[in-house]
Amino acid sequence: MIRVGVNGYGTIGKRVADAVRAQPDMEVCGVAKRSPNYVAVGATEAGYPVYAADDDRAHEFAAAGIDLAGSVDKLVAESDVVVDATPSGVGAENRPLYEHHDTPALFQGGEDATVAEVSFNARVNYDEAEDADYVRVVSCNTTGLSRFLAPLYENYGIEKARVTLVRRGGDPDQTGRGPINDAVPDPISIPSHHGPDVQTIFPKLDIDTIGLKVPTTMMHVHTVNVTLENEPDDVTEIRDRLRSEDRILTIPEYAGIDGAGTLKDFALDAGRPRGDIWENCVWEESITLRGRDLYCMQAIHQESDVVPENVDAIRALSGHLTGPESRSLTNETLGIGFSRLDGRESRTLDRQTAD
């Protein structure tokens, strides 16, 4: 059993902890929090030992009726791997703590790529993380783009990729984020940071990205144009290739899913925890081929698509499963795949829903 500590129990951390708990080869040895808010109360109710991320605030937990298991220093010492899910920039500050205890660690995409030896995507470069001590799981958008581009890169080659990212203004709990009533170029300059980040996974890829922020908390939406090096026979071939990818959901026209809100409603109806969608959601109607130019639109659930990547990255650091073995086990235990919608083989989610 791989003992996993989760430092930072917020949007990503709480989801990673639940995903780790679902694995037959892992256990959560504790989670670290800075403040005794409702999320910390939820951690205790879920049965996770809670550790203080800030010793100066440890007394606040007792006042809130939360018993601490110790400090984050103790959590790191007791863990085989730490998942750092702290806010952007804090992970880099925490690395000396992990080095002090000689504990391998995962960082999230909000950190600079220099924080770790490898920027990680389970579909593309699992093997590169096997000899590393520190791995950065790339951001939600980079994860989604890497999953989409991988089969195209492998089967046809990519001459040029161009992506416009329409990004949510904030997560549902980020009340201070925006815009409230606007569409904001973010950044105005080109490229946005997403293109260079994708190049940490595909170093030779020619990609340009443009970003916008809009007033929604639902999901990101990407409009993608890829010029392939080799022309596919027809658009059906592309659709079939994308449909065969385990973490890409192709949405058929008959489903009537016309936006991110409908996708979230479907996920909740399907029994997904927190309405999470771990897969890329590609609208089949948008997949268009004009010679070597491929166009499509996909939705990315920013709160959850990196969660299975974190689970796979833990295994990559431990080195006891291959990439395909880990992805298969993660998919099965989390229930990745909406078989009711896209005709795939029934998976855990559907059995749980039936129960």
The catalytic site residues sit at 140
User: What 3-state DSSP class applies to 242?
Assistant: helix
CB atoms within 10 A of CB 99: 12
How many angstroms separate the Cα of 258 from the Cα of each of 16, 243, 249, 251, 297?
Answer: 29, 18, 14, 9, 11
User: What 3-state DSSP class applies to 185?
Assistant: strand
Helix and strand counts by DSSP (H, E) for the chain: 14, 16
Q: Which of 301, 294, 168 is nearest to 223 (CA)?
A: 294
Q: Please report which helix (H) or strand (E) contains residue 77, including its range.
A: helix 72-78
Q: How many CA atoms lie within 13 A of 4 on its CB side?
A: 33
- Give the single-character DSSP code of 145: H
